[in-house]
Amino acid sequence: MKPVSEILLLSSAFLQKKGIERAKRLSEDLLAHFLGIKRIDLYMQFDRPLLDGELIPFKEWLKRLGRGEPLEYILGEVSFFGCLFRVDSRVLIPRPETEVLVDLVAKRMGNATSLWDLCTGSGCIGISLKKKFPQLHVIISDISSDALSLACENAKRNEVEVAARLGDFTSVMEDKVDILVCNPPYISSQELLHLDPSVRDFEPHLALFGGSSGLTFYERLSRDIDACLNPQGKVFLEIGATQGEAVKQIFESPIWKKRELIQDYSGKDRFFFLEKQ
């Protein structure tokens, strides 16, 4: 039998030995989730004893963390823009910067009646926006049938109805939309060399790499977008922190009345907004 305080110390030391960063925080998150309490409440329950037998599944989780697997895949869910999404190795783990993108879309929604979440992955963008704007017709699409089936499951979990389309990029689009949101794969071959192993070894490569320059999907979108977007339509893209100027150039065309690079909270170019004539 061991108290919570000792389990935390042992777990944190185990993860540190395995070279895992933020070992203390990860141990706390894992144990709190395991006990079904908030992380902050661990501190009130430091003396709570746990039987060795009770800890067997926790130890399995800890071993997975020790192998570098992201916490979110182990817990199997992530909170995003007020919704809970199931996540596993079929989909990219939704990132906090993508929540900022969703917030931006929400603030600039205007009178839009239709929205397409292209490259939907877990469905986090389209589903959370449908939850906030129930009148909106939302289409989600992805080339991965595995990702799309998880996105559909997430739509059900969050009690929203969206239209799901499986296929290669813009080829799935039948009608023009008012808003297109896309967080495409945008990691370049160069960045691949410096990628965190927990991303490189666990997240789906189909969700990560955007060709040698990382810009392939922006180039494709710039060619296809006119046929997919209503007049006065808006486009919201997530981009890599160093890709701002290149993306701006890719979308240089008279069809746009506005092209705007937008920064994340750390001041890096992270989003690109377009408004059609």
Ligand X SMILES: C[S@@+](CC[C@H](N)C(=O)[O-])C[C@H]1O[C@@H](n2cnc3c(N)ncnc32)[C@H](O)[C@@H]1O
Site residues (vs ligand X, CB under 6 A) = 91-92, 94, 98, 119-122, 124-125, 142-144, 147, 168-169, 183-185, 206-207
Closer by beta carbon to ligand X, 95 or else 176: 95
CB atoms within 10 A of CB 115: 25
Minimum CB distance to ligand X, residue 17 (Å): 32
Contact present, 216 and 168 (Cβ < 8 Å): no
Could you tell me if 179 and 116 are in contact, meaning their C-beta atoms sit under 8 angstroms apart?
A: yes
Asked if 252 contacts 222 with a C-beta cutoff of 8 angstroms, the reply is no
Which one, 125 or 155, has the nearer CB to ligand X? 125
The total of other beta-carbon atoms located within 10 Å of residue 88's CB is 14
Nearer to ligand X by Cβ, of 8 and 119: the residue is 119
- Going through the chain in order, the beta strands assigned E by DSSP cover 2-3, 49-50, 77-80, 83-86, 114-118, 137-142, 163-166, 177-182, 229-238, 256-263, 269-276
* Closest listed residue to residue 129, CA positions, set 71, 177, 87: 177
Question: Minimal CA–CA distance to 237: which of 223, 227, 251, 226?
Answer: 251
Closest distance to ligand X from the beta carbon of 220 (Å): 8
Closer residue to ligand X (CB): 177 or 207 = 207
Residue 268 CB, nearest approach to ligand X (Å): 17
Shortest distance (Å) from residue 102 CB to ligand X: 9
Taking the least distance from each CB to ligand X, the nearer of 74 and 124 is 124
Ranked by CB distance to ligand X, the top (closest) residue is: 121
Q: Would you say 55 or 250 has its CB closer to ligand X?
A: 250
Please give the Cα distance from 98 to 89 (Å, whole number): 18
Q: How far is the CB of 113 from ligand X (least distance, A)?
A: 21
The 8-class DSSP code of residue 74 comes to H
Q: How many whole angstroms separate alpha carbon 262 and alpha carbon 265?
A: 10
> What's the closest the beta carbon of residue 105 comes to ligand X, in angstroms?
12
Nearer to ligand X, 61 or 169 (CB): 169
How would you classify the pairing of strands 114-118 and 83-86?
unpaired
Residue 68 tokens read as 């570098």
Closest approach of Cβ 90 to ligand X, in Å?
8
